[in-house]
Structure 1
Amino acid sequence: MSSQSQALGGRVAVVGCGSRAAMFVRGVVARASSQVVAFCEPNSKRAAYYNDLLTELGAPTVSVYLPDQFEEMLSKEKVEIVVITCVDALHDLYIVPALKAGVKVLTEKPMTTDIEKCRRILQTVKDTNNHVTVAFNYRQLVKLLSVHFEWLLDTVHGADYFRRWHRQKTNSGGLMVHKSGHHFDLVNWWINSEPEAVAGMGKLGFYGEENGKRHGWARDYVRARGSEEAKKDPFAIHLEKDDTLKRIYADAEEEDGYHRDQNVFAPDIGIEDDMGVMVRYKSGAIMTYHLVRFAVLPHTPHGKATASPSTVRTAASSSTSSNPNTASLKTRHLGGLIHGTEALPRAGGATRLPIEVDHSAHGGGDTRMLNVLFGPLEGEAADTGDAAKQGATERDGAMALVVGLLANESFKSDKFMYVKDLNLPL
């Protein structure tokens, strides 16, 4: 698999001032080699929140540009790196012109949300010989024969995708693209191969209007703010109870009409919450994968990889509040806790492998990813070990994306789908 390990540095512009931007803004400001020089954001209140954050961090405030001023911003602010954290379906609108302008591009996963946009990005890479770095924070053997990957999210974190813009496939590509892209990239990287064929089944089994009526959790409201019904709904999130959510969503909604607190049992949900996929790789390895967003157990991923001499099995969970209204923005970014990893040889007993426990965001993945992307913090040594080899390029982004997109197509067709039929310019 491809790898990028050279640290990014210099004048940084951030596109999209939602909650995910905070990690990058803090990470850039903390490093003397980089500085935030501009925001590109259509909502002035969200942009104001991030300028206030810069002040809080001891950095100067910066100019704010609208999306149609993006290229002007690149030129006027002498931008060297653009960090893209906006709605997934809009990533290509910034990746392509930035590549053409010779600006380094760092985008949140997924790289984009459909094949045409993916082709456009890959063709621009080919034409310009510039590259994209994709922020896969889950990267952080012998030949593998098979992988079983199961990810069970409870109704605290699992429900959150059904309250916000991710609930429409036109925005996010569905959870096969937005969420599972993490997992598909990780498996591609683990087995050092690329997907070849994909088949899957998916359904909306718990969230949505009809399911809510069936199991009795449905409440009659559109969004939680101002609703008496929502006060009785354990699935509702109340933005006013979290200062950050209040400022970047509740206070900002009058400008763009975006509601971050929508009813998870509404009739207009367009994504699945229960998905199973089978993938065959060029190496011959086969993966079975299952993603559930309404599990009873709290955030319990399991993974198992089988090689010719042994099997490696991992189980982990993340610690989050059981109440969406008391879980802070930081805890919603999922502090991870590894339960354990075992090696199971074909002869002899299981061996528990030592794993470092990390309770920081995404199990320490965010911190290590920032150190690889932007270099170490002052006083820290540069990581020249495994983490430095875990960068992801546009090819990695595409190979994670196609598994999710082909799974979505297989949900509709009940057929195997093949990567070669996409004719990607790779």
Structure 2
Amino acid sequence: MKKKYAQVGTGGRAGFYYEAIAGTYQETSELVGFCDVSQTRMDYANKIISEKYGHVKVPTYFYTDFDKMLDETHPDVVIVTTVDRVHDQYIIRAMDKGYDVITEKPMTIDEKKAQAIVDCQKRTGRSLRVTFNYRYAPHNTKLRELIRDGVIGDVFSVHFEWLLNTKHGADYFRRWHRNKYNSGGLLVHKATHHFDLVNFWLNTYPETVTALGSLNFYGMKNAEKRGIDHFSYRYHGDPNMKKDPFAIDLEGNEKLKALYLDAEADSGYIRDRNVFSDDISIEDTMGALVHYHNGVIMTYSLNAYMPWEGFNVVFNGSKGRIEMKVVEQSYINAGGERGEEGALTGKTITVFPMFGKPYEVEIEEKEGGHGGGDPVLLNDLFGKPVYDEFHRAASHIDGVMSIMTGIAANHSIASGQTVSISDLIHL
């Protein structure tokens, strides 16, 4: 019997889920409803699943009719892919009505909303899963295996730096993410991936966080420093757009046009805001010091204006050191400018034994995004899951503890103090 799914939020990230259900996993899964603020976007989603995959068009519901959708379609699972700030509303309403939930990361954006979700899960006993696809990438799984197997002994410290370039990184400053009210900032929205990976690699959770952050590159105050000699509220219709390296052309991209430009009338959402305008409230330069329950310390940095995209991470242990470097293909969300989400252009894992010769570790890749990780995740969600020795499926607790590092970091930036996770959330 097919499992039924209803999805709330049909923006750029939503297709990762509804296309998998309508396509690869149509024998085990079925879409029964879409819910969104924009009828235009829901119509586009229905067009994709019907024309591309032959899936019957599903009923659509305005966002105020979310409960009506659940009552009429009776899904087995609700998929939440909305703006981050309302994840909690739909997660809680679905679980309170007796439904399991799959949510896009981050689970939510602050400690009050996180606590409400935790309390609801305890009250209802429903399943809540957060989809961390980075866990499934072969290089990230291999790193977990090396640490688990004691290749460098006991891990004492981690240095982790993530680089977003001026293509992908700038995109967060064009979209709704630019407002911390919507996203919690990059330390929550983006770094939830990174902090979850550290929790996963080390099999532990954070204890205290000290952080700093600032807006150094984007925003109106930095426009003159960047050599910007013109300004517009948005890029669409700007005569200077073609010579502006930070502009995107919604009109010239079929998917961006369908999801955003054509949907402006009923969504009210402007997708291509100028990255040097004056209402940006998130940081583009961030650093954190994190102490974990198992005694490990981590230094972390995230910069959103780098010349290349990817990350470096090192682990220092009692028997040696592991270094991993990953260079990713840059992209614009929903822009269709790369073949697969997370496709990699280069990666190495090098082990430095305490008293031995350094060596590189082989990484086995397969077809699909994130080096073959995305198909494994999607099969876990919508297909026929197989035993996973690494236990990569992320629970609501994993979801909470990934965002709490970033939430604590936001508090630390605001207060200048070290913040204890246990003061913010009670599991």
Instruction: Find runs of 4+ consecutive structure 1 residues off by over 4 angstroms.
Output: 324-327, 329-332
- Three-state SS of the structure 2 residue aligned to 1:276 is strand
Identify the match of residue 303 of structure 1 among 313, 316, 339: 313
Deviation at residue 103 of structure 1 after TM alignment? 0.8
Per the alignment, residue 186 of structure 1 pairs with 197
Deviation at residue 319 of structure 1 after TM alignment? 2.2
Per the alignment, residue 70 of structure 1 pairs with 66
Gaps of 5+ in 1: 1-7, 377-381
- Kept in 2, the 8 Å contact 1:198–1:279? The answer is yes
Q: State the Cα RMSD in Å.
A: 1.9
Change (3 A) 1:332 1:367: closer
**1:385 and 1:404 mapped to 2: Cα distance?**
28
Change (3 A) 1:326 1:73: closer
Whether 2:333 is the aligned partner of 1:337: answer: no
- Three-state SS of the structure 2 residue aligned to 1:214 is coil
Q: Deviations over 1:312-370 (max 9, x none)?
A: 1110111237xx69962555833123421011110011111001245743443322211
Per the alignment, residue 275 of structure 2 pairs with 264
- Kept in 1, the 8 Å contact 2:33–2:61? The answer is yes
Deviation at residue 72 of structure 1 after TM alignment? 1.5
Q: Deviations over 1:398-425 (max 9, x none)?
A: 1011100110111111110001111x23
**1:292 and 1:47 mapped to 2: Cα distance?**
34
The 5 Å alignment of 1:132-151 reads 132-140=128-136, 141=148, 142=150, 143-151=154-162
The 5 Å alignment of 1:150-161 reads 150-161=161-172
Whether 2:18 is the aligned partner of 1:25: answer: yes
- Kept in 2, the 8 Å contact 1:14–1:84? The answer is yes
Change (3 A) 1:60 1:123: same
**1:107 and 1:218 mapped to 2: Cα distance?**
41
Identify the match of residue 384 of structure 1 among 387, 390, 401: 387
**1:33 and 1:326 mapped to 2: Cα distance?**
26
Identity %: 40
**1:325 and 1:406 mapped to 2: Cα distance?**
27
- Kept in 2, the 8 Å contact 1:12–1:83? The answer is yes
- Kept in 1, the 8 Å contact 2:165–2:330? The answer is no
Whether 2:246 is the aligned partner of 1:250: answer: no
- Kept in 2, the 8 Å contact 1:105–1:133? The answer is yes
Whether 2:101 is the aligned partner of 1:91: answer: no
Letter in 1 for 2:55: A
**2:229 and 2:369 mapped to 1: Cα distance?**
32
Identify the match of residue 363 of structure 2 among 355, 369, 374: 355
**2:54 and 2:38 mapped to 1: Cα distance?**
23
Per the alignment, residue 278 of structure 1 pairs with 289
Per the alignment, residue 5 of structure 1 pairs with none
Whether 2:277 is the aligned partner of 1:235: answer: no
- Kept in 2, the 8 Å contact 1:219–1:233? The answer is no
Whether 2:216 is the aligned partner of 1:205: answer: yes
Letter in 2 for 1:272: E
Letter in 1 for 2:426: P
Per the alignment, residue 290 of structure 1 pairs with 301
- Kept in 2, the 8 Å contact 1:123–1:425? The answer is no
**1:110 and 1:210 mapped to 2: Cα distance?**
29
- Kept in 1, the 8 Å contact 2:250–2:261? The answer is yes
Gaps of 5+ in 2: 137-147
**1:144 and 1:33 mapped to 2: Cα distance?**
41
Comparing 229-238 with 161-170, which one deviates more in the overlay?
229-238
- Three-state SS of the structure 1 residue aligned to 2:129 is strand
Letter in 2 for 1:71: D
Change (3 A) 1:411 1:263: same
Deviation at residue 397 of structure 1 after TM alignment? 0.8
Whether 2:58 is the aligned partner of 1:47: answer: no
**1:342 and 1:227 mapped to 2: Cα distance?**
47
Letter in 2 for 1:335: A
- Kept in 2, the 8 Å contact 1:188–1:400? The answer is yes
**1:219 and 1:206 mapped to 2: Cα distance?**
16
- Kept in 2, the 8 Å contact 1:336–1:360? The answer is no
Per the alignment, residue 373 of structure 1 pairs with 381
- Three-state SS of the structure 2 residue aligned to 1:306 is strand
Q: Deviations over 1:255-298 (max 9, x none)?
A: 122111110011111100110011000100011111111012x2
- Three-state SS of the structure 1 residue aligned to 2:134 is coil
- Kept in 2, the 8 Å contact 1:336–1:358? The answer is no
